[in-house]
Structure 1
Amino acid sequence: MDYAILTGLVLVSGVVLALVAQWRGWRPSLLVVLAVGIGFRVLIMTTSVIDTWQPVDFMESFKPAGEAILRHQDPVLGSEGGWHFLPTIPYVYGLLLWLGIPWEIGGRLVTVVADIALIPLVGKLAGGPTASLRAFQYACNPLAILVACVHGQVEPVALVFGVAAFVVARGPGHPDRPGLTTDVVALARRSVTARGVGGAVRHALGPAGVVSRGLAPRSGEQPVLRRALFAGLLMGLALCAKSWPIWLIPGMLLLLPTFRARVVAFVATGVAPVFFLVTLPIFAGTSLDQIPEVIRVMGDVRPIVGEWGYSAIAVGGDWTLHPGIATFGTRLIYVTMLVVAFLWRRADPIDLTTALLLAFMVTTPRLGAQYLLWFMPFLVARPTRFAWPAVIGVSLWAGYGYLYMTQFDTDTWWGLHSVWAQSSVVLLPILALAMPWGRRVSTAPAETPEKAPRPVVPAPA
């Protein structure tokens, strides 16, 4: 990288500004926040565009996907598996290339615009009197600047739709919300004790059971269902960018006040992914007999380990295909997600999401530096005691890879990579400590009967 010193100075300046803003309690206007955020991003994007070093996946995976769209070819097959997601973002890449915008600009334009849009959304996500402070701190976030402006990775695109889904699902009112307000396990246990297993099943699933009543129309529910529909559509667009926003769905659903609204949002989440999949033959030139292969490639996760955490220690910090470690890590992730979801089930849904994403980072056997951006908007919006040690720690680790290691030839890079990857294990306890341990049970009140839509009870005949 040719402009590593300048980039590093900008990133350090951003951290200093964010910490001073916290210390002094700044509440800048949205105009000031956007000016700072846009200024940082445009500067680093400009230097990255003219740099002689370009990220490998940005050039050899993302660009071929956009070029495939220009040739009316499937972006997954046309990039030889370099792009293994839905074609939504390659459509935008193809449009920018068709307009004649150089790839080094156009490819980053997608992510930089998305990351700028995230700035006010983080403020909305935080809500309350600190909204502008949190937006400002995200505007200065060094990792966001690296991922969006230097790497051109698509995480900001997934996040802008995912965070927007949270904001829409929560709707108006106080920013703090309860999680699950009903102890489903205890309720089921009492029902089985009182009615037996068969009676409990009929009580839950019968014509007049719990589920049927939950799905019954309610008076005054249209605004809530409209929020649910739009939130689900936005979350679906997040899934069109990458598959990992599936971890955001539980938090989004819990922000909605009724079971019926959650069902609407869940169903709506599938609309955009299904649309972009079934329209591949129309917009991407994918033949019908190619669609099974496209789905196979999109679902194929190669067992590459050695970049992060315990897997890096196990293999000496070298990228390698290791099905054993990858399988163990995948199972560990699923078990951990279930445990965390249970422990934080009564937390504010944003805190639940933060806990899930941080726990993923601790237990995953494979990780690219851009993954560390996943939790950033949520942790910045609702910081914990160890939030800033986590932000600074992952930014230093990622910055070393982006700025320092790119100064050397391939052989030297691989030598540095081994130490860099293994050093990531130091971050695991910091990320674990940054989880919202003190906020496992939300103190926010449940919606009052006046605000919560009530079931419509038909008049007697």
Structure 2
Amino acid sequence: MDYAIPTALVLVAGVVLALIAQWKGWRPSLAVTLALGIGVRVLILVLSAHDTWQPVDYVNSFKPAGQAILAHRDPVLESNGGWHFLPTIPYVYGLLLWLGIPWEFAGRLVTMVSDIVLIPLVGRLAGGPKARLRAFQYACNPLAILIASVHGQVEPVSLVFGVAAYVVARGPGEWHRPEPLPWRSPGDLVRRLVSPLDADRAATRRAVWAGLLMGFALCAKSWPVILVPAMLMFLPGLRSRLVSLIATGVAPVLFLLSLPVAGFTEWNRLPDVLNTIGLRPSDVRPITGDWGWTTLVSGGNWNLDPTPARIGQYLIYAAVAACLIWWRKADPIDVTIAILLAFMIFTPRLGAQYLLWFMPFLVARPTRWAWPAIIGASVWASIGYLVLTQFPGPRWYELHSPWALSSLVLFPLLIAALPWSRRRYQQAGPVAVPDAKTRVATP
């Protein structure tokens, strides 16, 4: 990578600013925060676009998907195996390429714009008096800048819709955790649907919009499916949650059907498309060995082994279920943090971009060990992006193994960053107002 040093300096400066903001309690205006966030991301995008090194998947996977759309072909089945998700993002790639924008810029524009929109959304997700601080800290987040402006990975697109879905589902004002409803008989289930409570009926509109937004998150990539349970927890009752769940499926179904309707693929090939983008353990590509516990099996090298891939997939399902049970009475954002950090611990495979999944939520609602985990994950990913890319060919493979094994060092930080002390949601109490006897006169 030609611009590793200036990129690294920008990322370090961002971390320093974020920590100083935490220490000093800075709360810059949204205009200042956006100016910083946009300036940094545009700068790194321009440097990355002119770099002689380009990420392998950015060139060999994402670009063919956009070119397939230009050629009116199926981007999932006819892009050299490079696209394993719904065709939503390839449609955007194809449009940008059709407009004549060079690929080095076009592919990154999608992710950079999404990450910029995430900045105020993180503030909205945090809420309260520290909303502007959290937005500023996300604007400085080094991993977000790397993923959006260097790698051009699609994570920011999924996250911008996912976080927006959380904000909408929570609704205006302070969120109140709904009281658990007693279920005395199967008939109660029907009665809750036919005759919902007033709060449940009033939440229908935001349930629909939250579901539609989460559906668009799933259109970009399939992993946001693990965000759905926590999003539903923001809604007050069974009816609104069911409405939101149904709405979540609308956009993915429409984009899937757009392939045969628009003539990109034949109707009889839809099962092949579904198998390619599926979430079953048998559908996931068995590339393991470059992260976490599977590095101990492979020695830190890529390994096409279906056994650890399948074991890891089932471990993820079990971990998600355990988090939903253990944190079932917590704030839904804490539930999300727990689920996403647990995923990082148990997953058999991981690209550095996966580490961005938990960033908006952990920045918005930090735990005690949040920033050590954020900095640790950012440093590990930065070594892969900025250091390993200095060594092409066999030397890269030699360095990749110890780098992959070093991911195990992050695990204590990820475990510590879990919201262990926030298993129960605590309603913020009223602000105490001193009475006349206790007020101190001021000059």
Per the TM superposition, whether the score is higher than 0.5 is: yes
- What amino acid is the match of 2:25? G
Distance 1:177 1:418 in 2: 48
Q: Which runs of 5+ in 2 are unaligned?
A: 430-443
Indicate if the aligned counterparts of 1:317 and 1:421 stay in contact, CA closer than 8 A. Answer: yes
Question: Counterpart of 2:383?
Answer: 400
Q: Give CA-to-partner distance per residue, 1:297-326, whole Å, 9 cap, x none.
A: 222311111110110122100001111211
Deviation at 1:436, TM superposition (A): 0.7
Question: Counterpart of 1:252?
Answer: 231
Deviation at 1:135, TM superposition (A): 0.2
Question: Counterpart of 1:366?
Answer: 349
Cα RMSD between the aligned structures?
A: 1.5
Mapped pair 1:385 → 2:368: yes
What pairs up with 1:42-81 in 2 under 5 angstroms? 42-81=42-81
Mapped pair 1:236 → 2:215: yes
| Residue 286 (structure 2) aligned to one of 294, 299, 303 | 303
In terms of mean alpha carbon deviation, does 328-337 or 405-414 score higher? 328-337
Deviation at 1:80, TM superposition (A): 2.3
| Residue 340 (structure 1) aligned to one of 312, 318, 323 | 323
Q: Secondary structure at the match of 2:64?
A: helix
- What amino acid is the match of 1:411? P
Mapped pair 1:280 → 2:259: yes
Indicate if the aligned counterparts of 2:138 and 2:363 stay in contact, CA closer than 8 A. Answer: yes
Question: Counterpart of 2:433?
Answer: none
Residues 320/221 of structure 1: CA separation in 2 closer, same or farther (3 Å cut): closer
Indicate if the aligned counterparts of 2:201 and 2:239 stay in contact, CA closer than 8 A. Answer: no
**What TM-score does the superposition give when structure 1 sets the normalisation length?**
0.90
Deviation at 1:223, TM superposition (A): 4.4
- What amino acid is the match of 2:233? L
In terms of mean alpha carbon deviation, does 335-344 or 47-56 score higher? 335-344
| Residue 296 (structure 2) aligned to one of 313, 323, 342 | 313
Residues 171/35 of structure 1: CA separation in 2 closer, same or farther (3 Å cut): same
Question: Counterpart of 1:459?
Answer: none
Deviation at 1:282, TM superposition (A): 2.7
What pairs up with 1:48-127 in 2 under 5 angstroms? 48-127=48-127
Mapped pair 1:262 → 2:241: yes
Mapped pair 1:169 → 2:152: no
Indicate if the aligned counterparts of 1:177 and 1:442 stay in contact, CA closer than 8 A. Answer: no
Distance 1:356 1:115 in 2: 22
In terms of mean alpha carbon deviation, does 95-104 or 307-316 score higher? 307-316
Indicate if the aligned counterparts of 2:192 and 2:239 stay in contact, CA closer than 8 A. Answer: no
Q: Secondary structure at the match of 2:277?
A: helix
Deviation at 1:220, TM superposition (A): 7.2
- What amino acid is the match of 1:240? C
Residues 393/346 of structure 1: CA separation in 2 closer, same or farther (3 Å cut): same
Question: Counterpart of 2:9?
Answer: 9
- What amino acid is the match of 2:216? L
Residues 50/225 of structure 1: CA separation in 2 closer, same or farther (3 Å cut): same
Question: Counterpart of 1:289?
Answer: 268
- What amino acid is the match of 2:152? G
- What amino acid is the match of 1:225? T
Deviation at 1:78, TM superposition (A): 1.8
- What amino acid is the match of 1:279? S
Indicate if the aligned counterparts of 1:122 and 1:377 stay in contact, CA closer than 8 A. Answer: yes
**What TM-score does the superposition give when structure 2 sets the normalisation length?**
0.93
Deviation at 1:211, TM superposition (A): 3.7
Residues 296/220 of structure 1: CA separation in 2 closer, same or farther (3 Å cut): closer
Give the share of equivalent positions with the same residue, in percent.
64
Distance 2:176 2:380 in 1: 34
- What amino acid is the match of 1:365? P
- What amino acid is the match of 1:95? L
Distance 1:218 1:440 in 2: 27
Q: Secondary structure at the match of 2:300?
A: coil
Question: Counterpart of 2:412?
Answer: 429
Q: Give CA-to-partner distance per residue, 1:8-60, whole Å, 9 cap, x none.
A: 00000000000000000001000001011001100100000000000000000
Indicate if the aligned counterparts of 2:165 and 2:210 stay in contact, CA closer than 8 A. Answer: yes
Q: Give CA-to-partner distance per residue, 1:169-205, whole Å, 9 cap, x none.
A: 001111x543x742x8xx66xx5xxxxxxxxxxx22x
Distance 1:210 1:102 in 2: 55
Mapped pair 1:271 → 2:250: yes
In terms of mean alpha carbon deviation, does 251-260 or 110-119 score higher? 251-260
Question: Counterpart of 1:198?
Answer: none
Residues 163/215 of structure 1: CA separation in 2 closer, same or farther (3 Å cut): farther
In terms of mean alpha carbon deviation, does 406-415 or 153-162 score higher? 406-415
Aligned length: 425
- What amino acid is the match of 1:38? I
Indicate if the aligned counterparts of 2:117 and 2:160 stay in contact, CA closer than 8 A. Answer: yes
Distance 1:406 1:267 in 2: 44
Deviation at 1:285, TM superposition (A): 1.6
- What amino acid is the match of 2:410? L
Distance 1:270 1:297 in 2: 18
Deviation at 1:215, TM superposition (A): 4.1
Distance 1:212 1:321 in 2: 51
Indicate if the aligned counterparts of 2:124 and 2:167 stay in contact, CA closer than 8 A. Answer: yes
Q: Which runs of 5+ in 1 are unaligned?
A: 192-202, 447-461
Distance 2:379 2:105 in 1: 26
Deviation at 1:409, TM superposition (A): 1.6
Q: Give CA-to-partner distance per residue, 1:203-256, whole Å, 9 cap, x none.
A: 22x3xx244224424557664111000000000000001110011101110101
Deviation at 1:267, TM superposition (A): 0.4
- What amino acid is the match of 1:112? M
Distance 1:369 1:181 in 2: 39
